[in-house]
Amino acid sequence: MTSTFTTTQLAGERFIVRGTDAFGVIGETVLDGSQYLGLKGDTAHDAAHEAFNKAIEEFYAPITKAAEALEAAHSAENDIFVEVVQPAVAPTAGQDEIRIRLTPDTVILRLIDAGETDRLVWVGQNLEITAEPVAASGTPASK
């Protein structure tokens, strides 16, 4: 038997999760979705920024190209005594990795969202995450 879960968003950044786990146990619970929604919102916000920046670049591309052509016409690179052996590469700023510890509710919602529910099991009224995927027999699923 495969597990199936659905989520319904509630007010107050909460979700109702209903479903059947790999053992056939049916249950429902309410989870805190504040961290999950924050992460999804950050991703959507970043994508919107990227789309905006791309649109700006495309809009100004003809002007940028003309400015580069004008600058090239005025540069000393037309000097026959100069050979560019290696063109300059503009440096890029590094960026530190940022990690956060996810709450169990966020992990559950992410697993459901990704369709990877084979690690979710009902224990009483609680939806828990197993250490590794399980088969209906209760043993670890073979990969």
- 122 with 131: CB under 8 angstroms? no
pLDDT of residue 68: 83
Q: Distance between alpha carbon 55 and the CA centroid of its chain, in Å?
A: 22
Distance CA 93, CA 115 (A): 36
CA angle at 103 for the pair 3 and 105, rounded to the nearest 5°:
35
pLDDT of residue 143: 47
Per-residue pLDDT of the chain (143 residues; tens, 9 = 90+): 689 999 999 999 999 999 999 999 999 999 999 999 999 876 777 778 888 888 988 888 889 888 888 877 776 556 778 788 888 888 889 999 999 999 999 999 999 999 999 999 999 999 999 998 876 555 555 54
pLDDT of residue 102: 96
pLDDT of residue 36: 95
